[in-house]
Chain A
């Protein structure tokens, strides 16, 4: 009991610290500052990585459809929040588009500026999540019957179909075809991102530690045994798929928010790969691992290794080598080293608070039997 209490206190302390730091950073720095940007993007990636981990790490379903669900969330957010007055310029090739309302503006009219806009934005995110969940529900039934690598390729293919669909000119009045969606609102403060993503990650953690989460883990460990013990495989796999997609959709909406523009092109398989690799770096089956890895990855890619792209890094001046793209080469080499030599990633399947308490006794015992 004491260990579990200690863990809770530790977790609470970390959360308060993070929140305090975020508020302080928000107060001290302007919103375009690189630190704020790194925190925002890292937070979005943390949410998306955790949602992918729920499926790939905890349920053992190797799905590569993440980018597709994020795309849905991103478009839903953009389409629903662009101010009506700006639609004519955004949808310039489609006569201002088919949709002539904006959720933040609707709520603004009776809830006031700050509250109304926030509610509208949150609602748009929620719609994106629900759309992604609906899509997951639709394709889940046929696709989830497939075994490991077939599932991977089918979900990857699904994401590609979705991308083609959103670039289709006939849908232009809604999606703006292959043109950008822009001019929609964003949360100014990194704290808003952290609270929003934090709440959702907290929900996922609670779910994983609930009876349903345990059922997911049982499916991952041994499907046959899980089914024999009364766990409905189809239902639970689908549930994990839908929940994961829901949060991926919201994550996609938040990514759109952060980026300021939406196009279908970036939501390709490379994005899914990136997120998957973050999950691997953090440790497949560790939530805190995914979160840490997300921040670490974004921090390295956007800031720490920036010099590798612009000629100067750690006081070494070599413009011939350190040119555009070198930082991603370095990052992917590091990732490959982790994939090959540190397969457990940062955290293995443990969580940060676990490092405090004792491990399950058996860890350092000989394994008897097989």
Chain B
């Protein structure tokens, strides 16, 4: 088995009294497409936000490419809750901002599309290349970075061709139809040259045909850019089609993991999705 790219270790995320993610452990291996599924409000996006540095976990650690990138030791109330389990393991807090994590090679899309509204399609992708520039603001303003700029622009054009948005590159990002906006978000994430791509409900709001196209597309880019993909999705067709493995989250807890077949036949997953009477 190849080395894991992402490892989530005992991650708990608590907001006041609400435990959104409860002691999560998961691994995503190189080249895999792994899905995180679960009913609404199960804590999937929260998990993404912890992994990408938006939230600092109340407890736990995140490893990326064999390196610990996020870590927090139990504090306050959590101390009692998790005492024993990882007592003394975590000695310091590691909480990089999302931009640092992106620079390490992790990129994401958003559930509620967050494109830069006043920018064109081309610029949306070009801006994402900013984190890979080496020029300082002076040489950038004085145009001493023409070579780098040209290379970046060429790369963006190539990316836009790959995702099929080249013909609309000069339009405003927000004027694109929904499906294309989602593709643009993926292209933007790819522009940051990630190893691991996190997709938050990439097929939300898409019709079946668009979903099919997207399924094929995710596979293509995985192969083309040698990516590892970790995604949240509600469209089960897509999930079952492309995932190598699936994790199921319910009320913040992981309740199952396995191949698509295993998940489809797992009673706890079926219960979680269909609901089961408490006294049954």
Contact = CB atoms under 8 A, between A and B. Distances in A.
- Judged by CB atoms under 8 Å, the answer to whether A and B touch is yes
B128 to A, nearest CB: 4
Nearest to B141: A207
Contact of B174 (A217, A231, A367): A367
Chain A contact surface mostly: helix
Nearest to B172: A362
A363 B118 CA distance: 11
A109 interface: no
B116 A225 contact: yes
A227 B99 contact: yes
A210 B192 CA distance: 17
Contacts of B7: none
A243 B130 CA distance: 19
Contacts of A316: none
Chain B CB within 10 Å, residue with most, of A206, A228, A232, A365:
A228
Given A360-B120, A361-B170, A368-B175, A215 B127 contact: yes
B189 to A, nearest CB: 8
Nearest to A364: B175
Contact of B141 (A212, A369, A370): A212
Contacts of A217: 116, 118-119, 127
A370 B178 CA distance: 9
A233 B174 CA distance: 23
A211 B191 CA distance: 14
Nearest to A363: B172
A178 B246 CA distance: 72
Contact of B102 (A228, A234, A368): A228
Given A227-B97, A360-B170, A215 B130 contact: yes
A274 interface: no
Contacts of B98: 227-228
Interface string A112-147: 000000000000000000000000000000000000
A203 B142 CA distance: 8
Contacts of B107: 228-230
Interface stretch (B25-33, B132-140, B257-265): B132-140
B130 A224 contact: no
Nearest to B135: A211
B275 interface: no
Nearest to A215: B130
Interface residues of B, number: 50
A278 B178 CA distance: 38
Interface residues of A, number: 38
Given A228-B98, A232-B99, A363-B172, A206 B142 contact: yes
B130 A225 contact: no
B108 interface: yes
B99 A233 contact: yes
A336 B273 CA distance: 56
B140 A212 contact: yes
Contacts of A365: 171, 175
B243 interface: no
A124 B165 CA distance: 51
A225 B172 CA distance: 17
B141 A206 contact: yes
A225 B54 CA distance: 11
Contacts, number: 131
Contacts of B118: 217, 220-221, 285, 349
A349 B119 CA distance: 12
B124 to A, nearest CB: 8
B4 to A, nearest CB: 22
Contacts of B174: 362, 367, 369-370
B140 A225 contact: no
Interface in B120-175: 120, 123, 126-133, 135, 137, 140-143, 145, 149, 152, 170-172, 174-175
Nearest to B143: A206
A59 to B, nearest CB: 13
Contacts of B191: 229
B68 interface: no
A177 to B, nearest CB: 38
A217 B52 CA distance: 22
A323 interface: no
A236 to B, nearest CB: 9
A232 B97 CA distance: 8
B170 A231 contact: no
A27 to B, nearest CB: 33
Interface of B: 52, 54, 97-100, 102-103, 107-108, 110, 113-120, 123, 126-133, 135, 137, 140-143, 145, 149, 152, 170-172, 174-178, 181, 188-189, 191-192
Closest 8 CB pairs of A and B: A230-B131, A362-B175, A230-B102, A221-B116, A207-B141, A362-B172, A210-B140, A225-B114
Given A206-B141, A233-B97, A369-B113, 20 more contacts: A203-B141, A210-B141, A211-B140, A215-B127, A217-B116, A217-B118, A217-B127, A218-B130, A221-B116, A222-B116, A227-B98, A229-B107, A229-B127, A232-B99, A233-B99, A239-B137, A361-B171, A362-B175, A365-B175, A369-B181
25 contacts: A210-B140, A211-B140, A211-B152, A212-B130, A214-B130, A217-B116, A218-B116, A220-B118, A221-B118, A224-B114, A225-B115, A227-B98, A228-B52, A229-B99, A230-B103, A233-B99, A234-B97, A239-B137, A360-B120, A362-B174, A368-B175, A368-B178, A369-B113, A369-B181, A370-B174
